[in-house]
Chain A
Amino acid sequence: DAGVTQSPTHLIKTRGQQVTLRCSPKSGHDTVSWYQQALGQGPQFIFQYYEEEERQRGNFPDRFSGHQFPNYSSELNVNALLLGDSALYLCASSLVTGIEWNTEAFFGQGTRLTVV
């Protein structure tokens, strides 16, 4: 059973550029959330996708956007990159069962983004 997979594993970009990160959820899962983890910190919630719509959003600027596809996979896009966007970006998936949203979250290995 494949877990959550993210690509690429590492990425180096220049300030001002745009980047796209990808996530495939665990088999059978339909909800994808994205987190940003700065060095030495806990992950911070960026946003969540369910049924191809953004359902919740954390305290991140509009430069951060996303998409969910019909097969439940997701992309995170960041525009106009800043040095401060350098971080580990984590994708988490879970399964919404009827009205039960609060199930176990499974994380991928992350994408290490370095902005120079």
Chain B
Amino acid sequence: KQEVTQIPAALSVPEGENLVLNCSFTDSAIYNLQWFRQDPGKGLTSLLLIQSSQREQTSGRLNASLDKSSGRSTLYIAASQPGDSATYLCAVNTGFQKLVFGTGTRLLVSP
């Protein structure tokens, strides 16, 4: 059974810091991995999608990497801003669009 773990569970940083969020999964047989952002009580906003054949994806200040063989992905956020405060979720696609999620990292960026 695929299990996804995110570390740390919570993170508090001052504005301007670069930070790394970690995601690990137990079964390397995945089709892709997606990072999402969730604001309190809201839905999920897709940030980045990395296909299993890719190593990295970038969007603005966000960069996500994937090491499928070791079951790890990282989300790098450069020059963090208070507007980045949210919960970040990673999800692995185990086939046919079935996503298995981690429990998320709650990020607070202070001005």
A43-B97 CB under 8 A given contacts A88-B41, A102-B51? no
Tell me, yes or no, whether B102 is within 8 Å of chain A by CB: yes
Interface size classification for chain B: 20 to 34
Bound-state CA distance A29–B36 (Å) is 19
Chain A: how many interface residues by the 8 Å CB criterion?
30
| Cβ-defined partner of B44 (8 Å) among A45, A94, A107 | A107
Tell me, yes or no, whether A48 is within 8 Å of chain B by CB: yes
Tell me, yes or no, whether A104 is within 8 Å of chain B by CB: yes
A109-B42 CB under 8 A given contacts A43-B101, A102-B32? yes
Tell me, yes or no, whether A70 is within 8 Å of chain B by CB: no
Bound-state CA distance A33–B104 (Å) is 20
Query: Per-residue 0/1 for A2-44: is the Cβ within 8 Å of any B Cβ (1 yes, 0 no)?
Result: 0010100000000000000000000000010101000011111
Tell me, yes or no, whether A63 is within 8 Å of chain B by CB: no
For the complex of A and B, the 5 pairs showing the least CB-CB separation, nearest first, are: A42-B101, A102-B31, A107-B44, A109-B43, A104-B49
Q: B residues touching A (Cβ–Cβ < 8 Å)? A: 4, 31-32, 34, 36, 41-46, 49, 51, 89, 91, 93, 95-104
Residue pairs across A and B with Cβ atoms less than 8 A apart, 13 shown, are A42-B89, A44-B101, A45-B98, A45-B100, A48-B96, A92-B44, A92-B97, A102-B51, A102-B96, A102-B97, A104-B34, A106-B46, A108-B43
